[in-house]
Amino acid sequence: MLSVIIPSYKDPLLHRTIEDLLDQAQGSIEIVPVIDGYTLQAPLPDDPRVRPLILEQNVGMREAINRGVAASVGDCLLRADEHQRFSKGYDVALTASCEHNWIVTPRRYALDPVQWAIMDEIPPVDYMKLKVVSYGRGHKFSGVNWDRPDRESRQIDETMAMQGSCWVMRRAWWNAVIVRLQSDGYGTHYQDSHEMVFKTWQAGGKLMVNKGAWHAHKHRKFPRTHGYGGALADASFAYALQVWRDYYDTVVRPAWGV
């Protein structure tokens, strides 16, 4: 079984995302929306595969994912955001391709949440490169789009970074390697994908992209209902660099030749 974990905070698209996950699944799934300290304005889809976890207090995205994983039962895990569409059979395609020490992310399209449609004018993303970038107030790890035309024919391939809004891994890998997403230092919302990928690399695993499945994630030009910026975000970015910068510079970059 695939357990879909959705950390949720006041996003009106949660219901549509759950409906899409249910409609497009072709195997055995459960969906665990983690209602992070708020009151739903409408009931969730009436389906036995939807098993919400209601938190009385807001704990933030990272801890909501941890609690969703702990409450779920599938041998594979999929993390999703509250504002996404999915390809038919995403569950079967992503779990079938997931080796025991892999994190797998699907091809990513941009979603217009008003039309609930893929934005055809924006190319899909397969590969991302992990870089340290300047963002005005400091520096941070960031995945940037990576054009790799020489690898277009590879349906499943290794990549260096992911957005983090959709990934699959084996529960055994989470339990042994990821264990939990850390909120201390990182804060509650940022750098989660990089934390997981660095841990996976250190344990001898890989981050892979599966182009045979896709998700469409709400484009950044549309309003967000979660997250924060300013000093709290700056502290998160600085902490991730403190923990991982030396490993990135001495091991990761030479291994990737970047």
pLDDT tens-digit profile of 200-236? 999 999 999 999 999 999 998 887 766 667 889 999 9
Pairing of strands 76-79, 206-218: unpaired
Query: pTM of this prediction?
Result: 0.96
| pLDDT score, position 229 | 75
Q: What is the mean pLDDT of residues 148-173?
A: 97
| Residue 108, both tokens | 């990513």
| Residue 249, both tokens | 């510079």
> How many Cβ atoms from other residues are within 10 Å of residue 148's Cβ?
12
218: Cα separation from own chain's centroid: 13
Range with the poorest average pLDDT among 15-29, 63-77, 147-161, 225-239: 225-239
CATH label of the domain that carries residue 81? 3.90.550.10
| pLDDT score, position 226 | 66
Q: Number of folded domains in the chain? A: 1
Question: Which SS3 state, helix, strand or coil, does residue 224 take?
Answer: coil
Q: What is the mean pLDDT of residues 73-96?
A: 98
| Residue 140, both tokens | 């941070």
Confidence of residue 23 (pLDDT cuts 50, 70, 90): very high
Q: What is the mean pLDDT of residues 42-67?
A: 97
| pLDDT score, position 200 | 98
Flag whether pLDDT at 136 surpasses 90. Answer: no
Q: What is the mean pLDDT of residues 97-122?
A: 97
Among the listed residues 35, 34, 30, 65, the one whose alpha carbon sits nearest the alpha carbon of residue 47: 30
**Which residue range forms the structural domain that includes residue 141?**
2-256
